[in-house]
Amino acid sequence: MKQKKAAPLTLALLMICFSVTTLTAGAHISQTVGVKEGDWMEYDITITGTGNMPPTHDVRWMRMEVLTIDGAAFSVNVTTRYANGTMGSAIWKFNFTQGNVEGWTIIPANLGLGDTFFDYSSNPTNIVIQREEQKEVLGATRTITYGNDSIRQVKEWDKATGFFIGSVEVAKNHTNKEGWYFEDLTITCSAIATNMWDRQIFGLERSVFALVISGLVLGIVISISTLIIWQKEKLVALSLRLSPLTKKTISATIIVGVVVFGAMFIPSIWINLGLSNAEANMLMQSFWMGLILASMRFRKSGNYFVHWFLMSAVVIATLVSFASVFMMWSPADSSLGAYVSSPLKIAELVAHSVLSLPAIILGVWFIALWRPNLTTFPDKSQKIVKLLVIMWVLSYVAGIIGYVLDYTTLLGAY
């Protein structure tokens, strides 16, 4: 049964974020709203100690998402999951000017050591920021501030946004307004996910790190192909020792290996490391782009067979990727709306379609032209492969620009 009443939900969360305070300080400073519409944070909640929480208070997960902002006032949609699996939701109203901070869950932004914010509750007072430090939070280094009182043993906020990221609160020998008695319970609330900042890897935002790695992948693939061409004479000598059947077997194995590695292993490796689908896809596309450019180097050196099988591996792998996406696509959970949500998104979608589809068609045509020992292949494939590479490069560049606009702040806010 779904619990939707705001009153029980509010009481439940008041158990997590009590509104009674005892700290006192001087006048509060500028009440800056550091959140924006769409910002959200999710939390895990654990309850330990002696006694049991009443069902309406036994919250184990919470999500807070900012809805609308009007000056110093804003509203937040709070969703909770109880221990029995039922869900609840309510709209919380914040107003920093009036001191409505809903149990310190979101406070004014950029408050430093000794600064205060106003909490208008049953005992109106100014709350002091007692200390701050740099801390790793959800994959990024953030400035964290702290405050506490007799009930909130520890309360932590992200300084730049004012969102609380964790709390430890004790209910000991306490009877609430509903008459529930709490013997000796400790409620620990910890942030587990957010969209307000990006995870950092080696000091870089995750999205920027993925962009750098994609460039490295592209450079490494091209460098390896250059090294192989440089060792051409040794490779030719080795090739003369192999039978035609052995050569074909080795070539087929390499093509399959490249397809499997690019289409399956690269995305899975990077997703397991915490990169998003978009970041893993960009990495994969950089790998394909590197192989295409490498294949052109082999063509220029006169090795048309290596040129053909590298190009074929990329085209086949791309077709496999597209096929897997279409197989998993469902009208019920389609995310097409995300691609047409703005003129810029529509332009990106059109650019990819106009450039990618002809490139894939030309790639299939290119594969079909190949015949073993076909001496006319270089001439027949010359125009096709030029158009293929031009379209593929333009599509790749369009994809990189779209990624930078959508997932990084390198060209401004996204």
Torsion, CA 137, CA 142, CA 148, CA 153, rounded to 10: 20
More confident residue, 141 or 267: 141
Alpha-helical (H) ranges within 273-376 are: 277-300, 304-328, 343-369
Contact residues for 142 (Cβ-Cβ < 8 A; gap 6+):
134, 135, 136, 158, 159, 160, 165, 197
Give the model's confidence band at 133: pLDDT under 50 very low, under 70 low, under 90 confident, else very high.
very high
Q: Of 66-70, 293-297, 304-308, which gets the smallest average pLDDT?
A: 304-308
Give the model's confidence band at 272: pLDDT under 50 very low, under 70 low, under 90 confident, else very high.
low
Burial 40-73 (b: 16+ CB within 10 A, else e): bbbbebebeeeeebbebbbbbbbbbbbeeeeebe
The answer to whether the beta carbons of residues 43 and 62 sit under 8 Å apart is: yes
For residue 242, pLDDT over 50 is answered with yes
Give the pLDDT confidence of 89-106 residue by residue, as tens digits: 999 999 999 889 988 899
Q: Please provide the DSSP assignment of 63-78 as one string.
A: EEEEEEEETTEEEEEE
User: CA 198 → CA 138, 144, 338, 381, distances in Å?
Assistant: 8, 16, 19, 45
Checking DSSP bridges between strand 116-119 and strand 87-95, what pairing results, if any? unpaired
Looking at the chain, the whole-number percentage of residues with pLDDT higher than 90 is: 13
For residue 15, pLDDT over 50 is answered with no
Q: What is the mean pLDDT of residues 19-46?
A: 67
What is the pTM (predicted TM-score) of this model? 0.49
For residue 74, pLDDT over 90 is answered with yes
The chain-wide mean pLDDT, for the chain, equals 75
Give the pLDDT confidence of 391-414 residue by residue, as tens digits: 888 888 888 888 787 777 676 545
For residue 27, pLDDT over 50 is answered with no
For residue 263, pLDDT over 90 is answered with no
The answer to whether the beta carbons of residues 9 and 89 sit under 8 Å apart is: yes
More confident residue, 58 or 339: 58
Check residue 246 and give its pLDDT. 63
Give the pLDDT confidence of 29-42 residue by residue, as tens digits: 457 898 988 888 89
More confident residue, 116 or 7: 116
The answer to whether the beta carbons of residues 136 and 146 sit under 8 Å apart is: no
**d(C-alpha 207, C-alpha 201), whole Å:** 9
Q: Of 228-232, 307-311, 407-411, which gets the smallest average pLDDT?
A: 228-232
Residue carrying structure tokens 């590298």: 310
Check residue 111 and give its pLDDT. 92
Check residue 266 and give its pLDDT. 56
**d(C-alpha 284, C-alpha 314), whole Å:** 10
**d(C-alpha 94, C-alpha 381), whole Å:** 66
Give the pLDDT confidence of 295-306 residue by residue, as tens digits: 888 888 777 877
More confident residue, 270 or 225: 225
Domain residues of the chain, as ranges?
Answer: 6-194, 200-407
Check residue 257 and give its pLDDT. 63
**d(C-alpha 104, C-alpha 169), whole Å:** 12
Phi first, then psi: give them for residue 306, nearest 5 degrees.
-60, -40
Beta bridge partners of 236: none
Burial 135-155 (b: 16+ CB within 10 A, else e): eebbebebebbebbbebbeeb
**E-strand stretches of 103-217:** 116-119, 125-128, 131-137, 140-147, 152-158, 164-175, 181-194, 200-201, 204-205
Give the pLDDT confidence of 277-290 residue by residue, as tens digits: 677 778 788 888 88
Return the structure tokens found at 383. 């125009």
Give the model's confidence band at 154: pLDDT under 50 very low, under 70 low, under 90 confident, else very high.
confident
Give the model's confidence band at 254: pLDDT under 50 very low, under 70 low, under 90 confident, else very high.
low
